[in-house]
Amino acid sequence: MRPLQALGLSMTAEAAYLALVEHGPLTPVELAGRLAQAGSPAKGVQDAVNELTGIGLVSRTDDRLTAQPPRAVLEAIAERRAREARIAYESATLLSRFWLDHTSGSGYIEVVDTSHNPDAIQRRVHNEAVAQVRALSIGPVGGGERAPEVDTDALDALARGIAYRVVYSADILQEPKALEAAHACVDRGEQARVFPDIAMNLLLCDDRLAVLSVVAPDRAGHHSVVVQPSGLLDGLIGVFESYWRVAVPLPRTGEPTEGWISPTNEARQLLGYLSAGLTDESIARELGVSGRTVTRRIARMQEVLGAQTRFQLGVQASRQGWL
């Protein structure tokens, strides 16, 4: 690792600083000799010293150079660069709004042909996200012969602390490879839900960008429609949130998937009794089971449908067509 080079300092400046830390205060001539002995480049020592004194990592007293503790200096640099990054981001936002107001009015849609590089535009979302990524996934569109695989760009973004919420098509429950890839993301922090009828592949990068994937006319690949800040982007965000509210949690690894989207007759019967207002004891008598069994089955359905209360269970069951 080259920490000082990562800050933009030269290789000679980094070697000079390390030599001063190791050997104590030195004159410029002595420093050049130390660098030569260590096999480090000795050319440009004066420029390297100027780099180090310029940021406060080295002080000069009576022609002797002394290394200074790095933490305070480097933390000040980090803070300044973070401030510069925030200013740059805010400036980009303001200038983008100005550009939109004076070009396309209320919004801007960029159509990008990605038939020859279908992953590039999705990689852009994962790499540019600063807070969250939301997605609707019906699976591959065009060129569907490619086997499902873990999206390494998404894993990298999750590792950076980007929040992910994804609603998958229920078809994923019937495709072991696709389900395995989804679980790999969930294991790293992704929140995942399932819904029977996903209408589109959609990626949302924070509240700044949306990517819709559509099948190319020849069905050999696909195009991506990139939507910038606009009323259309707001609408697509609303579409995702609507799906998220009615979707059910993705089954955990190793958990059976049968009945998650299509309930059993037993589940429908139990929901019918609940909606009719029967108590757990009355339902138990009707089903010929214990009250504890009824309570356990109701709790299981609440878990499957993501409901915190029995009232929410009824709402979610109705939305899913279970009643």
Q: How confident is the model at residue 115 (pLDDT cuts 50, 70, 90)?
A: very low
Closest CA to 57 of 35, 72, 41, 42: 72
Q: How confident is the model at residue 46 (pLDDT cuts 50, 70, 90)?
A: confident
Beta bridge partners of 222: 215
Mean predicted confidence (pLDDT) in 242-271: 71
Mean predicted confidence (pLDDT) in 174-191: 86
Q: How confident is the model at residue 262 (pLDDT cuts 50, 70, 90)?
A: low
Task: Give 59-101 pLDDT, tens digit per residue.
Answer: 888 888 888 888 877 777 777 777 767 777 677 666 666 666 6
Beta bridge partners of 109: 227
The answer on pLDDT for 132 being more than 90 is yes
**CB-CB neighbours of 304 under 10 Å:** 23
Tokens 């939109």, residue?
100
Distance CA 129, CA 181 (A): 21
What is the pLDDT, as a whole number, of residue 247?
78
What is the pLDDT, as a whole number, of residue 143?
44
What is the pLDDT, as a whole number, of residue 103?
58
Helical (H) or strand (E) element with 195:
strand 191-195
What is the pLDDT, as a whole number, of residue 136?
92
Radius of gyration of the chain (CA): 29
Question: What average pLDDT does the structure give for the chain?
Answer: 77
Q: How many CA atoms lie within 13 A of 196 on its CB side?
A: 10
Closest CA to 141 of 163, 114, 177: 114
Q: How confident is the model at residue 191 (pLDDT cuts 50, 70, 90)?
A: very high
What is the pLDDT, as a whole number, of residue 153?
87
Alpha-helical runs (H) found in the chain: 3-6, 11-23, 28-37, 45-55, 70-101, 120-128, 152-159, 176-186, 231-246, 265-275, 280-287, 291-305, 310-319
Q: How confident is the model at residue 163 (pLDDT cuts 50, 70, 90)?
A: very high
The answer on pLDDT for 189 being more than 80 is yes
Q: How confident is the model at residue 1 (pLDDT cuts 50, 70, 90)?
A: very low
Tokens of 191: 């929140």
